[in-house]
A and B are shown apart, each in its own frame.
Chain A
Amino acid sequence: MNRQEIIDRIQEKASSLTMGTSQGIDCPEVVVDKQHLIEFMKFLKEDEALSFDLISDVTAVDYPARTPRFDVVYHIFSIKNGQRIRVRVPVGDGDGVESVTCVWRGAEWLEREVYDMFGVTFYNHPDLRRILMEEDFKYHPLRKDFPLEGIEE
């Protein structure tokens, strides 16, 4: 299965769940509304042709001037096809998305990192605590408005 076939398959089976598909520079890219995230992720994993069974990374991008402010980005790998896909979910400041740990259990720590660094909440996450910074740290250091040298206590 090549990249174009992945996009064709998504458009054929799940076009109502997506807000747009495109051919990224390195892999197919899908933008999904946060209401349909879990349904779409379950489709990616359970569809027999696609079989995206390994979550490689969860991260986020901060666009300070944009509303909604963040994109949560999921990189998923299909062991069967040897192909990757990127899923972006726009989410506002102070808001959150549904946790995908119910689809891939391995997303637990990746989501904790995004929560720690960007302050994006993950609903129904089994153990949403900071993972890198100390527990009483008040800020989210990968946001663009956080100074590199930190904030004096």
Chain B
Amino acid sequence: MIFVPLVALLLGILIAVATGLASIQGLQGQYVAVACLAGLDSVCGGIRSGLEGKFRKDIFFTGFVSNIVIAFFLAWLGQRIYIDLFLAVALVLTTRIYTNLSLIRRFAVTNYLDRQARRAKGVGETTPEPGA
């Protein structure tokens, strides 16, 4: 299931390439870049909470939007007051992406080992594999 978002991501890039969506020029490009980081963070968070079974649509959507808006605002503020808040935003978002990805990895590895252990215990004795 975790591959569906990845496929969607690739699909998005393909659509952009196919329709010849132009790259953003100038400073606006920087804002879109920060928005990308915010979006990536939200998506990773979404996948994580999904795997943990805590996913809530409303929180996910509002988080996606508010993350981007906050990132925009901070980046804009940084430009106004001449402090490189772009970097601060990028740092925080990247940290969060790291945390989320490590939790996803932890979940995936535990899940995998769990399944192996169950299979080793007795074949066909327990509940069948999902999707089998």
Check if A and B associate.
no
